[in-house]
Chains A and B, each alone.
Chain A
Amino acid sequence: MDNFIAARSQMAMSLAFHIIFATIGVSLPLMMTISEWRWRSTGDPAYLLLAKRWAKGTTILFAVGAVSGTVLSFELGLLWPRFMQYAGSVIGMPFSLEGFAFFTEAIFLGIYLYGWNRVPGWLHLASGIIVAVSGVLSAIFVTLVNGWMNTPAGFDIVAGKFENIHPLIAMLNPAGVPEAVHMVLAAYTAGGFATAGIHGWLLLRRGRNRFDEAAIGIALLVGGVAVILQSVSGDALARMVADKQPMKLASLEGQFHTEIGAPLRIGGIPFPDERETKYAIEIPHGLSLLGFHKYNALIKGLDQEPQADWPNVRIVHICFQIMVGCGSLLSLFALASSWISWKKRPLHTLFLKALVFVSPLGFVALEAGWMVTELGRQPWIIYRLMRTKDAVTSMPNVTLTLSVMTAVYVILGIVVVWLLSRHVIAAPETKQIEHPEVLV
């Protein structure tokens, strides 16, 4: 494997790993805080147990998220030193703010997790709220940086260097805000549905109980509301991409030819050499409508760009289809479950089975979505300004560090799953009696 591919793989692997933990770090604190608030206002002990359980899950996941996030902040330099050399000063602002948000999150998470018996109730609940809010802020700031890589703004290029930099304009770049909203909602969707699914599975296994029902209630509310809002956010993001990154839109839609009133393709496999996307269901004028909200809008195709500068159209298009497909399925499920809860029907076995089935789709969509945005930006690390291959490190043997990091992350992943299944998911009664000390 050459160094460039190894560096890209290492970055991709680190991001794909970290994003799972970062996402849970955003969504689980919200759910645990809601649960604690329900306990304080209703006195129902199921909510207290749930808050403690979720807090324990947060401890494990946040620790792994914190260290894998540290890895990323160093890897920006280790793998892409030239990118950091030129862009570091432009994107420093959101990263600095993220540093502070992360700080607040860690401090109040410490208070939340280990302060049950040490701080007054209101301060404990407030700590949970601060953790939830600062988690969201961290996610927003980091995504703003990714937005800048897609739609760089806030500077002039003078003699090949960034001059007249305005950090705030760079931070609030066109792609940044819609991407950040999309990411936060994705975090709630993925975290909410995965949690609801786990408790749905438990409910199926151990029969009706207050604990799992309360958990599903909160988790599905968070995930369901988020996924419904996600469709609005996705539309805003798609129109931004259509406007600012037409080639990216073309590759994620498999649009090879410039066309007026382009169709929306559902599914299909792009064949770049034949310049055609085959086997797709085409909805006439659909893409023009979605991209520009106009029936006959002009959609630029990949033919506007030399083929050497195309991203990997096939993977990008397929990942995009996976993301949209998962999102749509989850939206349908959210609508169905809101109807069920509105009618006050009891949770049917079939419903729970469906819930378990759809629960991982939030994470599938999240990973696929990041593949779309990262691979869709290629061959650029800063869109139309710096090529990824020009940013890569000169260090040899990146394959070695890639192999080591992959092995480490695989081991960590396995241990985390194992621990979660033992501590967060296991039946409450026995565990509580055996190890009261770890339940604090």
Chain B
Amino acid sequence: MNACVILAAIMLISLVIYSLLGGADYGAGFWDLVCSGPRKQGQRDLIAQAIQPVWEANHIWLILLVVLMFSGFPSAFSSMSVGLAVPIFLVLLGIVFRGSSYVFRAYFAGDVRTQLYWGKVFSISSSITPLFLGIVIGAISGDAVLVDDGRSENGFLSTWLRPFPLIVGLLALSLFAYLSACYLTVETDDSELQGDFRKRALFSGFISIMAAFATYLVAENSAQRILDGLSRSPDCLLIEVGAAIATLVAFHALCVRSYPRARIAAAAQVGLIVIGWGFAQYPYVVRPELTIFNGASPPNILVEVEIAIALGAVILVPSLILLLLIFKSRGTPSAQ
């Protein structure tokens, strides 16, 4: 296999993991925004406790993606940075506010009003960030990001302020919210709280399915090529079928309150959707011009970066498993 394809595959895997871990953290922030009912504070506490030890490690998958992108596909990184500067800047603002307001809130213990204020900042920024991340993904899947010699041919707004990227943004937000609600059912032993998040999971799951259909419909008009990509290969069909099955399993598990199964099925569903996007996007990084072949770094660099990734993974994977084992295995409720 070609070094370009390998690096692209590694980046896709990172994107999947980022969606499954970091995405769920954003989703949890979204649920913080819409906390309601008699167990409002219980929901907030559960959310805070669930993401506290892991969100920083989860966030780094995004940094890894960016770094791999400019090492391996610098032209694509450069084009995105110019053409999509506005949504990327908004993603950055979201990241800054999400991360800092989260710790600020945790440390303003004792001052309820200030805590609520930072809580708002946290939850709003958690909701905005995935929206714009989705918009960036939608925009590079369309045909509008054209950058020639550092100049964006479609300006700085009409590259992304279009139906297709916007609907992908909504899809991302609803999927992350759904994923997070499924995870949160497993994070508590309180059956009432579980019930709250079960309802939220079913609701947001339904919205995400609607958003997914809307994405298809809009793509017919404005992002025909990625749709062609999706229907091109048998792999894509297989992935789509897999995602559909995972969706059914997740919904069934939620209905019968089998939460651990719902968690795994929802993760599989979101993971397969991201992978499906990756296959449909192949071989492009930024449509309609930059592919993983015409915009790649020289092969020796790709190979050396891949060796570095392999060495890094030897340290990273066991560490990550250790982290998740310590904080996310059942039967060890928070000692705090």
Residues on A close to B: CB < 8 A? Answer: 56, 59-60, 62-64, 66-71, 73-78, 81-82, 84-93, 95-100, 102-104, 106-111, 113-115, 117-119, 163, 165-168, 393-396, 401, 404, 408, 412, 415, 419, 422-423, 434-435, 437-438, 440
Contact = CB atoms under 8 A, between A and B. Distances in A.
A68 B100 CA distance: 10
A59 B109 CA distance: 15
A99 B66 CA distance: 10
Contact of A96 (B67, B80, B85, B100): B67
A110 B109 contact: no
Given A82-B78, A88-B71, A104-B316, 5 more contacts: A77-B70, A77-B77, A96-B64, A115-B326, A165-B298
Contacts of A422: 107
A165 B300 CA distance: 8
Interface in B39-91: 52-54, 56-57, 59-60, 62-64, 66-68, 70-72, 74-75, 77-82, 85, 88-89, 91
Interface in B263-311: 297-298, 300-301, 304-305, 308-309
A320 to B, nearest CB: 32
Interface of B: 52-54, 56-57, 59-60, 62-64, 66-68, 70-72, 74-75, 77-82, 85, 88-89, 91-93, 95-100, 102-104, 106-110, 150-152, 156, 297-298, 300-301, 304-305, 308-309, 312, 315-316, 319-320, 322-323, 326-327, 332, 335-336
Given A63-B56, A86-B74, A435-B110, A71 B95 contact: yes
A408 B93 contact: yes
A118 B71 contact: no
B82 A81 contact: yes
Contact of B150 (A66, A82, A92, A435): A82
B292 to A, nearest CB: 13
A93 B71 contact: yes
Contacts of B309: 96, 100
A103 B60 contact: yes
B74 A95 contact: no
Contact of A81 (B93, B150, B322): B150
B67 A98 contact: yes
B335 A104 contact: no
- Chain B CB count within 10 A is highest, among A59, A88, A97, A165, for A88
User: What is the predominant secondary structure among interface residues of chain A facing chain B?
Assistant: helix
Contacts of B85: 78, 393, 395
A226 to B, nearest CB: 26
A107 B319 contact: yes
A114 to B, nearest CB: 4
Given A63-B99, A64-B100, A165-B298, A108 B106 contact: no
User: What is the predominant secondary structure among interface residues of chain B facing chain A?
Assistant: helix
Q: Which 4 A-B pairs have the closest CB atoms?
A: A92-B71, A88-B74, A77-B81, A89-B297
A89 B301 contact: yes
Given A78-B81, A92-B72, A165-B298, A67 B108 contact: no
Nearest to B306: A96
A73 B297 contact: no
A109 B56 contact: yes
Contacts of B59: 66, 70, 106
Nearest to A164: B298
Nearest to A162: B298
B78 A70 contact: no
A85 B75 contact: yes
B107 A419 contact: yes
22 contacts: A63-B99, A63-B100, A66-B60, A69-B63, A77-B70, A77-B78, A77-B88, A85-B78, A88-B297, A91-B71, A96-B67, A96-B312, A104-B319, A111-B322, A115-B327, A118-B327, A168-B304, A393-B82, A408-B97, A412-B96, A419-B107, A419-B108
A66 B152 CA distance: 30
Given A64-B100, A419-B104, A92 B320 contact: no
B136 to A, nearest CB: 11
Contacts of A60: 103-104, 107
B190 to A, nearest CB: 19
A423 B71 contact: no
B316 A78 contact: no
Nearest to B62: A70
Given A84-B70, A95-B67, A96-B67, A78 B304 contact: no
A108 B62 CA distance: 18
B60 A102 contact: yes
A96 B81 contact: no
Contacts of A99: 60, 63-64, 67-68, 312
B323 A438 contact: no
A440 B336 contact: yes
A395 B156 contact: yes
- Chain B CB count within 10 A is highest, among A64, A73, A85, for A85
A86 B102 CA distance: 37
A166 B297 CA distance: 12
Nearest to A119: B326
B96 A408 contact: yes
Contacts of A96: 64, 67-68, 71, 305, 308-309, 312
B77 A73 contact: no
